[in-house]
Chains A and B, each alone.
Chain A
Amino acid sequence: MEGLPILSIIMLSPLAACIVLMFVKEESIKLIRGIAVSATSISLMFALYILFAYDKAKGGYQFVEKIEWVKSLGISYHLGVDGISVAMVVLTSFVIFTGVFVSWVGIKHRIKEHYIFLLLLVSGVFGVFTSLDLVFFYLFYELAVIPMYPLIGIWGSANREYATMKLTLYLSFGAVFALLGILSIYFTAGQMTGQYTFDMTQIGKLSFEANYQKWVFLPMLFGFGVLVPLAPFHSWSPIGHAAAPSAVSMLHAGVLMKLGAYGIIRIAMGLLPEGAQFWMPVVAVLCLINIFYGGVVAMTRKDMKFMIGYSSSSHMGYVLLGMATLNYIGMNGAVLLMFAHGIMTALAFALIGYVYDQAHTRMAYDFSGLAHKMPFIAVAFAVMGFASSGLPGLANFVSELMIFIGAFRTYPFQTVIAVFGIIITATYMLRALRNVFFCQSMPEWEHLKDATTFVERFPYIVLIAVLFIVGFYPAILIDVINTGVVPLVDKINGVSTIAKAGM
């Protein structure tokens, strides 16, 4: 495998599939699906390869590829992954791989275009997670957001025009602020060294003036925070989730929201460590709104997609809390939760989509006793619900536990509220489980069918298996993530100790 541009393959294989799909006839559905499945399985395969081939002893950026692009501006096609991005790449590849199968069942019209946009989007996501160049980072960031517009607008359910419009506007709004921050860093770094470059690894070596860091961190935090979504800029996400088709919701909640968190970690915190020192305590307060408020709003929602949507924003609050701890334990937990939540929420949306496609309603009170008709889906939903409420044995538990332990050192009060959040999560998940799947079955849902064929069951089995594997043996990811977290946290804390010593 030496010498193969593995990251490019991971990123470009969905893009290549897009291009191939454009030349395939609309009617040859089998071929279209075949192409989508093979492209995503190539990505998945190589993603798993980098997970195991990543040299944990060495750490740092690995599988680096670098091609000069616009030399005069200092832009280069520069890919590479550290421990944090490896986890994100693996997450993305799992979500899109299963998403293709979910669309297989769920999408009935304009199949070709659906896959084209889906794969385009995922290329962008892979690009963001692997780029080490700020221009390409931003380019891929937009590439990941823009296909959302047609995907929700064309294949979405009720209220889709409203949702897609609001979502795109909101995210573009955030992206502009992030761009401002990126450009500011570019020019400042250029002025400092005399050599203008967008290379993150180069800029990362510089230490900006403390005041500058504080001011630039804010637009970055807002820009990426909108995508996370950081309260109170979170409302686009449940609206978007609810209107999107299953596979898009999966990607949206499973992966896209992680782009924001990843942007904060990689760019805002990575390049502006003192800014992080200054602003992350604020995030530690705002994230409580996510956790608590998102949770209780989820509790009141009867539409299950809205419920999961608000629950996602609640869980991303834990991620933000973990990031705000600025210590190894919390950061590791945050990245692991990004992974775990991505898988779990993808499972959630896939399941709700499966029920919705047959029943054409998502209102929890419309249902009763579905476990009689669809035992497989019921079990999968239960696993999802318990994963979400942090039951041991599933991936979310480990990550939430680490976040709590990490956060308890720095923010004991916030941790108490955050821990209370898991009770809220358990409340709405168990209520949904009870109302939808338990109790007597209703005659109008007699026609619902369980997932029985391989294609129907496959994505759920894969996602559940991942949740269990990581839950039982978290070291498989933590050991890798940790290699990325340690230098980052050292940088953030190291800078502050120097500054304090200077004073």
Chain B
Amino acid sequence: MVSWLILFIPLIAAVLITFVTRKQKDLSSYVSIGAVVLCFILSIDPILTLLKDPHMKPVEQGFSWINIPGLHVEIGTLLDPLSILMLFVVTFVGSLIHIYSRGYMHGEHGYSRFFACMSLFIFSMLGIVLANNFIQIYIFWELVGLSSYLLIGYYFEKPSASDAAKKAFLVNRVGDFGFILGIFVLFQATGTFNFIEINHILEKGGIPESTIYIAALLIFCGAIGKSAQFPLHVWLPDAMEGPTPVSALIHAATMVAAGVYLLARTSLLYHFSPDAMEVVAYIGGFTALLAAVIAVAQNDIKRVIAYSTLSSLGYMVMAMGVGGMTAGMFYLTTHAFFKALLFLAAGSVIHALHTQDIWEMGDVFKKLKTTGTTFILGSLAMAGVFPFSGFWSKDEILTIAFTSHHYFLFTIGILVAFVSAFFMTRLVFVTFFGKGRYHGHPHESPSVMTVPLVILAFFAVVAGFAGMPWIEPNFGSYIAGPLHGGHGEHGFNLFVAGLSTAVVIAGIALGYIVYCKELKSDPLAKNVLYNLAHNKFYFDEFYDNIIVAKVYNGIGRICNFAEVNFIIIFFVNGFAYLTRETGKVLRLTTTGKLQHYALVMVAGVVVLVLFFGVL
């Protein structure tokens, strides 16, 4: 019952805002905030249940949605450790970001629309989290895509925002294309969409291995789209066209993590297909490295964080791939805190300075004390400095990569840790210290914005302790229940921890050396690699100019040419031509001479008489 309430309260709020409180802006924001906070309060009960009993049995409820012979689709809820964890992350971070938005969005045109969409998003996201079957997760998968579209395109008068929204939706559709096919493959093999039933069948070995492999890869396509993995990573940085709270909530903390959640949800599938897991791991590792390198060369504060998000997502996916399902989920949780924090703090900076270019900032730490402090704490967590939350979660992933003998991926992980530390240092120094390059008189944001920052900062610092390898039960033991696919060795590996700490320190030191100066522009700007990274390795250009403009639209133009020049001429005009020409021939019989007609009649009678006479 509680799970249904949690699911539908945000939807009710969205409907209420759309139809009732649209004109009263304040009321709309209260409805929306109230809904998500209520969801959070309601989810405390399941959280406590889980904390009491780490081996809780999954609670499943559902009602029939489509029921015809051969096809039974349910809408249901599934409460197990995994969904409860996500429930906590989504509603808790969501509540804070909603509250923050009240301040950030103040005075915006379309304030109510914003909150309606946010509530719609929370509804869709909770639908993914609580889903007990594949169709439902796909339904809400698409719905988060919709709310993401609406929120990225919030400033729809800006062509760039409209384009970004469209791009996000379409790129996700490409991923979903594989996802839905994967669902079909699984349904074909098992005859059900239900997670638990499919897991039972899998455990009994009821699906051939090749089918599992194909299904796992196709379902991973969904994760590639939603979690913005290479090669579909291009939409996420553009999605920063949306308001900053949206970037924090949807494009950092929750929605983009849905892909990782999906992998965790279907972990048994991957458990039975080690080959698919390898693919997952390498895609994740490559994305992590690619995005981290690009992040170094970005100048828009939100884009830097966006690429760092991409990199983190790659990290999580890599964790899933090397068998660290709990480690991936742990990283997802800590990442939700510190990345939401980074975005919100960045939003606070933007709010104060009215620019997103870090080269028009600098030396604002004195003016924005709270924002600056929380931002630095978030950066330290992101960089993975001991003992911040990022350290523990990253360390767990690296340990698993190392102990499962994925040395190449381990090297990539170390490399990413180094680059991340470097670009976070760059971001902090260029934004908050050095030479002041800003205009106007920035002042600290109102407390409705800073209080969520402080709360998030607290969690960004301490959340990692829940996953310390020494304490028992720790994060992993609570969440491990529904996760399969091997958990690797969770022990603390001194070599890994030492190495990662060393490279992080090296990264920070390098960042300090390069950027802790009175700079006007980036000192690395003349570097070839820098330019390549600055232009995002020309992925957008490749997709826009080759794939979309040449291939996709080209096929369209060819077909249209065929349509206009062959099909219409041949079929449509052809029929008319046939009719006209037949008419021309038959017209010759119409002489207008009465007696000709009479003659034909008589001839007809004669023929009939002869015909029947002969018969």
- Do the two chains bind? yes
Chain A CB within 8 A of B5 CB: no
A297 → chain B closest CB, angstroms: 5
User: Of A70-78, A358-366, A397-405, which stretch is located at the interface?
Assistant: A397-405
- Give the number of residues in B that approach A within 8 Å (Cβ atoms): 50
Interface residue SS majority, chain B: helix
Chain B CB within 8 A of A301 CB: yes
User: Of A11-19, A33-41, A431-439, which stretch is located at the interface?
Assistant: A431-439
Residue from the set A234, A296, A440 with the largest chain B CB neighbour count within 10 Å: A296
Q: CA–CA, A332 to B67, complex, Å?
A: 11
Do A438 and B572 touch (CB < 8 A)? no
Do A296 and B559 touch (CB < 8 A)? yes
Q: Which residue of A lies closest to B159 (CB)?
A: A439
Chain A residues whose C-beta falls within 8 Å of the C-beta of B69 in the assembled complex: 328, 482, 486
Chain B residues whose C-beta falls within 8 Å of the C-beta of A433 in the assembled complex: 166
Chain B residues whose C-beta falls within 8 Å of the C-beta of A327 in the assembled complex: 70
Do B143 and A166 touch (CB < 8 A)? no
Chain B residues whose C-beta falls within 8 Å of the C-beta of A371 in the assembled complex: 156
Do A296 and B575 touch (CB < 8 A)? no
Residue from the set A293, A297, A332, A416 with the largest chain B CB neighbour count within 10 Å: A297
User: Which single member of B138, B153, B556 contacts A297 (CB below 8 Å)?
Assistant: B556
Do B170 and A427 touch (CB < 8 A)? yes
A235-B568 in contact given A404-B184, A415-B184, A426-B170 (Cβ < 8 Å): yes
Chain A residues whose C-beta falls within 8 Å of the C-beta of B66 in the assembled complex: 398, 402, 474-475, 478
Q: CA–CA, A223 to B571, complex, Å?
A: 14
B135 → chain A closest CB, angstroms: 7
Chain B CB within 8 A of A49 CB: no
Residue from the set B71, B142, B166, B553 with the largest chain A CB neighbour count within 10 Å: B71
Interface residues of B in 171-188 (CB under 8 A from A): 173-174, 177, 180-181, 184, 187-188
Chain B CB within 8 A of A420 CB: yes
Q: CA–CA, A493 to B64, complex, Å?
A: 27
Chain A CB within 8 A of B529 CB: no
Do B563 and A235 touch (CB < 8 A)? yes
Do A296 and B556 touch (CB < 8 A)? yes
Do B177 and A419 touch (CB < 8 A)? yes
Do A329 and B146 touch (CB < 8 A)? no
Q: CA–CA, A392 to B135, complex, Å?
A: 10
Do B65 and A416 touch (CB < 8 A)? no
Interface residues of B in 134-192 (CB under 8 A from A): 135, 138-140, 142-143, 146, 153, 156-159, 162-163, 165-166, 169-170, 173-174, 177, 180-181, 184, 187-188
Interface residue SS majority, chain A: helix
Residue from the set B68, B153, B169, B552 with the largest chain A CB neighbour count within 10 Å: B68
Q: CA–CA, A255 to B143, complex, Å?
A: 29
Do B572 and A328 touch (CB < 8 A)? no
Total CB contacts across the A-B interface at under 8 A: 137
Chain B residues whose C-beta falls within 8 Å of the C-beta of A405 in the assembled complex: 71, 184, 187
Do B556 and A233 touch (CB < 8 A)? no
The contact string, 1 if C-beta is below 8 Å from chain B, for chain A 67-96, is 000000000000000000000000000000
A438-B135 in contact given A392-B143, A416-B181 (Cβ < 8 Å): no
Q: CA–CA, A478 to B69, complex, Å?
A: 11
Chain A residues whose C-beta falls within 8 Å of the C-beta of B177 in the assembled complex: 419-420, 422-423
The contact string, 1 if C-beta is below 8 Å from chain B, for chain A 312-349, is 00000000000000011100100000000000000000
Do A419 and B560 touch (CB < 8 A)? no
Q: CA–CA, A431 to B166, complex, Å?
A: 8
Do A169 and B575 touch (CB < 8 A)? yes
Do A438 and B576 touch (CB < 8 A)? no
Chain B residues whose C-beta falls within 8 Å of the C-beta of A420 in the assembled complex: 177
User: Which single member of A166, A419, A475 contacts B576 (CB below 8 Å)?
Assistant: A166
Q: Which residue of B lies closest to A407 (CB)?
A: B184
A415 → chain B closest CB, angstroms: 7
- Give the number of residues in A that approach B within 8 Å (Cβ atoms): 62
Q: Which residue of B lies closest to A420 (CB)?
A: B177
B564 → chain A closest CB, angstroms: 9
Do B556 and A438 touch (CB < 8 A)? no
Chain A residues whose C-beta falls within 8 Å of the C-beta of B173 in the assembled complex: 389, 422-423, 426
Chain A residues whose C-beta falls within 8 Å of the C-beta of B589 in the assembled complex: none
Do B157 and A391 touch (CB < 8 A)? no
The contact string, 1 if C-beta is below 8 Å from chain A, for chain B 207-243, is 0000000000000000000000000000000000000
Do A233 and B180 touch (CB < 8 A)? no
Chain A residues whose C-beta falls within 8 Å of the C-beta of B153 in the assembled complex: 438
Do B553 and A299 touch (CB < 8 A)? yes
Chain A residues whose C-beta falls within 8 Å of the C-beta of B579 in the assembled complex: 169, 173
Chain A CB within 8 A of B555 CB: yes
Chain A CB within 8 A of B411 CB: no
The contact string, 1 if C-beta is below 8 Å from chain B, for chain A 226-250, is 0000001111100100000000000
Do A165 and B576 touch (CB < 8 A)? yes
Chain B residues whose C-beta falls within 8 Å of the C-beta of A170 in the assembled complex: 572, 575
Q: CA–CA, A415 to B187, complex, Å?
A: 14
User: Which single member of A236, A426, A434 contacts B572 (CB below 8 Å)?
Assistant: A236
Chain B CB within 8 A of A155 CB: no
The contact string, 1 if C-beta is below 8 Å from chain B, for chain A 435-475, is 00111110000000000000000000000000000000011
User: Which single member of A386, A391, A402, A434 contacts B71 (CB below 8 Å)?
Assistant: A402
The contact string, 1 if C-beta is below 8 Å from chain B, for chain A 42-63, is 0000000000000000000000
Do B572 and A296 touch (CB < 8 A)? no
Q: Which residue of A lies closest to B75 (CB)?
A: A472
A438-B157 in contact given A474-B66, A478-B68 (Cβ < 8 Å): yes
Q: CA–CA, A328 to B71, complex, Å?
A: 9
Do B572 and A430 touch (CB < 8 A)? no
A391-B142 in contact given A297-B563, A371-B156, A409-B188 (Cβ < 8 Å): yes
B16 → chain A closest CB, angstroms: 16
Do A423 and B65 touch (CB < 8 A)? no
Do B559 and A440 touch (CB < 8 A)? no
B214 → chain A closest CB, angstroms: 11
Chain B CB within 8 A of A278 CB: no
Chain B CB within 8 A of A372 CB: yes
New contact pairs (9) apart from A416-B181, A420-B177, CB-CB < 8 Å: A166-B576, A232-B567, A235-B568, A296-B559, A300-B557, A426-B170, A438-B159, A478-B66, A482-B69
14 CB-based A-B contacts, threshold 8 Å: A166-B572, A293-B559, A297-B560, A297-B563, A327-B70, A369-B157, A416-B181, A419-B177, A434-B166, A437-B156, A438-B159, A475-B64, A478-B66, A486-B69
Interface residues of B (CB under 8 A from A): 64-71, 135, 138-140, 142-143, 146, 153, 156-159, 162-163, 165-166, 169-170, 173-174, 177, 180-181, 184, 187-188, 552-553, 555-557, 559-560, 563, 567-568, 571-573, 575-576, 579
